[in-house]
Structure 1
Amino acid sequence: MSLYYGSLYWPATWPNPPRYPSLSGTDRCKALVIGGGMSGSLCGLLLARSGIDAVLIEQNEVASGSSLANTGLIQYSNDIMLSHLAEQIGERNAVLFYKECKDAVLHLARIAETLPRDVGFKLRSSLYMASSKDDVAALRREYEMLDRFGFGAEWWDGRRIEENFPFRREAAIVTRGDAEMNPYRFVHAVVEEAAKQGLRVYEKTPMLSVQGERGRFVVRAGRGEIRADNLVYAVGYTPEAAGSALFAARLNRSYAMATKPLEGLSEWHQRFLLWETSRPYLYARTTEDGRIVAGGLDEPLRRPVLSDSELRQRTLRLRSDIGQLFPGLEPEPEYEWCATFGESADNLPWLGEDPRRPGTFYALGYGGNGTVYGAIAARLIRDSLIGEKSPVAPIVRPDRPIPIASAAAARARRLAKSGR
C-alpha cells in the first residue's frame, strides 16, 4: 500500500539522485539495515563512520517512502509537551528525553555540514502558539518547565507576537535550536556519503525472509542472501515488516502543500517554524526558494486519500489557514499530498534492541519528530553494537510498558483538542 497520494515537492529538487544496484548473490556483514529512509540512512552512515561493517537494503529506491512526504521541520519539542511527558514517565526521564532530542538536532546539523551536497539544512527558531485562550495556562506551564531545565525557551505574549508577525495569538513559546531541511536531498546525500565510508547499499532488494539468531541471521533479500550478525529494522510506517508484536502503532494520515515561490515573506519573522497547541495542529515553514510548506488536518485513517477532489478540499483548507496568518500573501499551492504517519500510544518512538530477539534492533521513529528520532536511533544502536549504553535507551526500549492510564489520558487530551 502506498504511503502517500498527490504531487510531491521534494523530488523536483533533485531529479537524478544516485542509484544503487540490486542484490544478486551473497553478502556478509556485522549489521544489516533494512530500510533506506531517514532512520535507515542515518543508521547506515553512523555505523559506517564507526568502522562497523554494514549493509543497507531498500525494497524500492532510497528515500522513496515517507521521506518523500516529510515536510522537513526539525524540532526538539514533541507532540506531547514536556510537562505532560513528565506526568507520564517522570520528570527526570522526560527532561532526559527532551535533552536527547535537542542534542539530536545539533547532531543532524553536524552531519549536514559534512555532506558533499547542499541539503537545505538551516537552524531555525520555532513559534509554538496557543490556539485559544484555553490553551494559555498549559502553554505557560510548559514554558516554565522548559525554562527551569535550561532549554532556553522564551515566553511571548500577544503584543510581542503582533509586533513580529501580521497575526495575533494570546501567547506563544519560542524555542531556539530547531531546524529545517530538504529531507529528500538529505537522505540521498547521507546514503551517498555512507557508501563512500564503506556502507554497501542495495536498492530494489526486498527482504523476503529471516532465519537464525544473533550472529547467524540468514536473510533472503531480492535475488540473493545476506548473512548478518545483527539486524536493524528501519521500516518506517510499515511496522508489520519488523515481524514483532511489540508495536501497537496508530497509523493516521496527514496533509501538506508547497506553494509557488512567493514575494513578501519579509513578514515572516526570521523564517520561524510555526505550529500550534490544537490537535490536530497546523504547522508551516518556508523554503530556500521562497515557498511555504504547510501541513496538518490529521485524520485517524491509515490509507491516504485516493482522489484529487478529496485532496484538493484539504489543500484549500491549508491555504485558508495560511492566509489567515499572513493576509498580505496570496499562497498558491503548486504541490499537494496526503501521507501516512504513525504514532505510539505513549508518544515515544521504539528504538533499540528487542530483548526477546537478541541482535534485532528497531529504529521506528513514530510521532511528530521522526527525523530527530532517527538520529537518536542511529547513536543508540551504534553504541549498543560497540558495547556502550545510551542513557535514553530505557525510555524508548521496544518492550517498555505503556501505562494504560497515561496513554488513555494523553489520547483524551488529543481528542478534546481536536473535537473528536
Structure 2
Amino acid sequence: MKKLHTGTLYWPETLTEPKRYPSLDREERAQVAIVGGGMSGTICGYWFVKHGLDVVLVERGEVAGGSTSANTGLLQFSNDIMMTELAVQIGARNAETFYKACLDAVKSLGAIASELPDNADFYPRSSLYYASTEQDLPKLRKEYDALKRAGFPVDFWTQEMIQAAFGFSKPGAMVTHGDAEVNPFRFVNAAAKAAAASGLRIYEHTDVVSHRTENDGKHILQDSLGHAIQADFVVYAVGYEPEELRPKLRKADLNRSFVIVTPIQESFKAWHGNWLIWESARPYLYLRTTADGRIIVGGLDENKEQPVANENRLNRKSRELASLLRSLFPQADNSIAYEWSATFGESLDGLPFIGEDPQKKNLFYCLGYGGNGSVYSMLGAKLLLELIQSGPERRHPLPFIAVR
C-alpha cells in the first residue's frame, strides 16, 4: 500500500477509538459497490444509502486511514483555479455552474454534519483570500467582480480593512462567505458509522485485485482472498493511491504539501471570526484554527509524488511554516505540536475526475483531484447518484469534469 503521508498527524488524536469494520469473508451482491473508504467513498456511500440504494463499500486499509487523516479540513467554494481563469478554459457559463456546484456542495456537507451524532466540528466560516503582492491585486479584483455579478456571497477588502481586522497588512483581499471548516477524520468516521446504521455494508482490509464485467453487464470485483462482489454499478473513490488507475486519467499529477499544527493557544486570541485564510501566490499559504484552539498552517507544495521521508527535511519545512505564521501573527505561539507531509492530487486543468468510464458501462470514478478534494467528494456523490439513477441514456450534467 502506497504511503500517503509522513510525520505526526493531528486528526487521529481527536478520535482515538473509531469504529472498525470486518474484512470481506463471503460473497456479496449489491446495486452499487464502492471501492475506497476515504472522504469520497464514504460520502458516496452515505448519500447513496440515504437515497435508497443497496450499497457495499470496501477499503483496503481502514476507513479514513489514507489521505483523509492528512486533510486540513478547509471547505471553500473557491478553487485553486479562479472562476475567471476557468472561464477561459471551459467558458464563462460552465465556470459559473461549476462554482455554484461547489458552493452547493459546501452546504450539503454542512447538512450531513448536522444529521450526524458527531458534527465533527463543522463550522460555517468566511475566508480571507488576500493578494500576496500588489501585482496580484488586479486579478483578485477581477475575480471578485465576476463572482459578485454571478450572485456569489463575496466582499472586497482594502488594505486598511485587513489591517484593522487582522493586524497584518496586505494590498487587498476578496472575502468569500459560505465556506466552512471540519475535522475530516471525525467527519468521515461519523458518516461511515451513520451510513452503516442505515444499511451500508462496509468492509475494511479488503483489497480488490480484479474487476471483470459479465456478458449481462454485471460487475464482479474479487478481493485478494478470492471473495467476490457482484454489483450493477461500481464507483472507484480511491483518492491518490492506486497507480494503475492514473494512466486512465489524462492530466493527473501528484504533489506533496506540508502542514504544522501548533499547541493550544493559551494567550493568543484567535483572529477575526476564526476565518479561513489563504493567498493568491502559488503555491499558497493557508491557515485555519481548530475547535480546541490550535492553529493549522499548510503550504510550501512541491512537485514530488512521495511525502517527505527525511525527518530533517520535514523539520525544515515545518520551521518555515512556523516562521510564516509568526510573520502574520507575531503574538501567536508558533511552536510545533504536529507536523506532516502528504501527497495530494492535482489535475492540469484544475478540475476533478467525476463520471463514467468512457470504455466501461456503469463504472464510475469519484476522484477529487484539483485542490478542493472534500468539496469535490460531495459534488461527486450528488452527481454520481444522479447519473446512476438516470439509466443507460444518462448525460453528464457537468461534462467538463468527466473522466478525461
TM-score (norm 2): 0.96
Q: Name the amino acid aligned to 2:359.
A: R
Q: Confirm or deny: 8 A CA contact 1:32 1:54 kept in the other structure.
A: yes
Q: Confirm or deny: 8 A CA contact 2:396 2:402 kept in the other structure.
A: no
Equivalent residue of 1:102, what SS? helix
Which residue number in structure 2 is paired with residue 345 of structure 1? 348
Q: Name the amino acid aligned to 1:396.
A: I
How many Å separate the matches in 1 of 2:253 and 2:120?
30
How many Å separate the matches in 2 of 1:75 and 1:346?
18
Equivalent position to 1:233, from 233, 236, 256: 236
Deviation at 1:5, TM superposition (A): 0.4
Q: Name the amino acid aligned to 1:335.
A: Y
Structure 1 gap ranges (5+): 400-420
Q: Confirm or deny: 8 A CA contact 1:235 1:242 kept in the other structure.
A: no
Q: Confirm or deny: 8 A CA contact 1:251 1:341 kept in the other structure.
A: yes
Q: Confirm or deny: 8 A CA contact 2:76 2:179 kept in the other structure.
A: yes
Per-residue Cα deviation, 1:111-140 (whole angstroms, up to 9, x for no partner): 000011130100000000000001001111
Deviation at 1:330, TM superposition (A): 2.1
Structure 2 gap ranges (5+): none
Equivalent residue of 1:266, what SS? coil
Per-residue Cα deviation, 1:240-274 (whole angstroms, up to 9, x for no partner): 34476234311000000111000344350000000
Equivalent residue of 1:97, what SS? helix
Change (3 A) 1:92 1:300: same
How many Å separate the matches in 2 of 1:133 and 1:273?
21
Per-residue Cα deviation, 1:51-73 (whole angstroms, up to 9, x for no partner): 11110000000001000100000
Per-residue Cα deviation, 1:142-200 (whole angstroms, up to 9, x for no partner): 11001110102000010000010110000000000100000000000011011011110
Equivalent residue of 1:373, what SS? helix
How many Å separate the matches in 1 of 2:259 and 2:92?
34
**Structure 1 residues 286-301: aligned runs within 5 Å:** 286-301=289-304
Equivalent position to 1:386, from 355, 373, 389: 389
Change (3 A) 1:259 1:353: same
How many Å separate the matches in 1 of 2:385 and 2:307?
34
Equivalent residue of 1:380, what SS? helix
**Structure 1 residues 123-162: aligned runs within 5 Å:** 123-162=124-163
Which residue number in structure 2 is paired with residue 275 of structure 1? 278
Which residue number in structure 2 is paired with residue 417 of structure 1? none
Q: Name the amino acid aligned to 1:126.
A: S
Per-residue Cα deviation, 1:364-383 (whole angstroms, up to 9, x for no partner): 00022100000011011111
Q: Name the amino acid aligned to 1:115.
A: L
Equivalent residue of 1:333, what SS? coil
Identity of aligned residues (%): 47
Change (3 A) 1:11 1:267: closer
Change (3 A) 1:211 1:177: same
How many Å separate the matches in 1 of 2:213 and 2:396?
30
Pairing 1:42–2:43 present: yes
Q: For the aligned residues, what is the CA RMSD?
A: 1.4
**Structure 1 residues 244-393: aligned runs within 5 Å:** 245-266=248-269, 268-387=271-390, 392-393=397-398
Equivalent residue of 2:251, what SS? coil
Equivalent residue of 2:41, what SS? helix
Q: Confirm or deny: 8 A CA contact 2:43 2:377 kept in the other structure.
A: yes
Of 231-240 and 287-296, more deviation after overlay is shown by: 231-240
Equivalent position to 1:396, from 375, 392, 401: 401
Q: Confirm or deny: 8 A CA contact 2:36 2:238 kept in the other structure.
A: yes
Q: Confirm or deny: 8 A CA contact 1:100 1:392 kept in the other structure.
A: no
Pairing 1:218–2:250 present: no
Equivalent residue of 1:113, what SS? helix
Equivalent residue of 2:157, what SS? strand
Q: Which runs of 4+ in 1 moved over 6 A?
A: 388-391
Q: Confirm or deny: 8 A CA contact 2:249 2:403 kept in the other structure.
A: yes
Which residue number in structure 2 is paired with residue 112 of structure 1? 113
Deviation at 1:238, TM superposition (A): 2.2
